[in-house]
Amino acid sequence: MQHFLSLADLTADELWNLLDLATSLKSEWKSGGNRPILANKSLALVFQKPSLRTRVSFEMGMVHLGGYALYLSPNEIKMGGRESVPDVARVLSGYVDGIMARVFEHDHILQLAEYASVPVINGLSDFNHPAQGLTDLFTILENRGKLEGLTMAYIGDGNNVTRSLMYGAALTGMNFISAAPADYQLPGSDYETGMEMRVSDSQTIDFISDPVLAVREADVIYTDVWTSMGQEAESAERLKIFPPYQLNEKLIANSKSDAIILHCLPAHRGEEITDAVADGEKSVMFQQAHNRMHAQKAILATLLQ
């Protein structure tokens, strides 16, 4: 690995190596702390979008591994505006050992990787969210003890998180179902990519509109906000369309008894998920949030060590 831009860039072995390393680093941390394997290493945290989990998990991940993280807010750089992305990449490469960026346009991530001479990590773009996807696979593995053969159902807007989940499911032998209104489903090109990435011909990827059917077959049920950052103008229309896709007690009653529920947060409680489900016995979304730090330590250790 030279960069961490998309789960679709990884081989199945590379993804499993990251999951194994995340497991090891979390165990080590719980046993008294991580070894300072990134001593004297530095990471620039470049943000165009605000964040709670992405900033704190990457920053504390670097601290746990003995390194240092430098936060750069949206107003400090105005990357792509006041200063071009290639120039930002070349300047930061002379100061730090790695760059993590949370951006709007995916092309900004690609330009950072093209022009930087240090590893670049995609902390989120409008196209995908691979750090979240890795975390989600890690959380499922912790709870179910395996990934191969499980079925993950994503309920709601087909977005950057959906795309990374599908890629990750394909590479780890999982089946994947995306249930969304027709106009809000991932495009057919993503379906084709997911099918090509499968490690077994027996794996299934389905794009459907029926959330009841999706949760009935699922070992893992996942949702995200109906309106992502940058889509605020569409919020009123989306609030009319998506209520049938809410994770509520009525919908979850159709699921398997041992199904687990994930949400990448922040949650708009009362919209895509109710309090009863978010705080219910099937929910692992706070374990999932905490696992961002450990999964990302695996990325950092792999790229910066």
Q: In this structure, what token pair is assigned to residue 48?
A: 């165009």
CA distances, 238 to each of 97, 132, 227, 235 (Å): 41, 24, 7, 5
| Catalytic residue list | 102, 129, 132, 224, 264, 292
Are the C-beta atoms of 159 and 169 separated by less than 8 Å?
Answer: no
Neighbouring CB atoms inside 10 A of 115's CB total 18
Q: Which amino acid is at 222?
A: Y
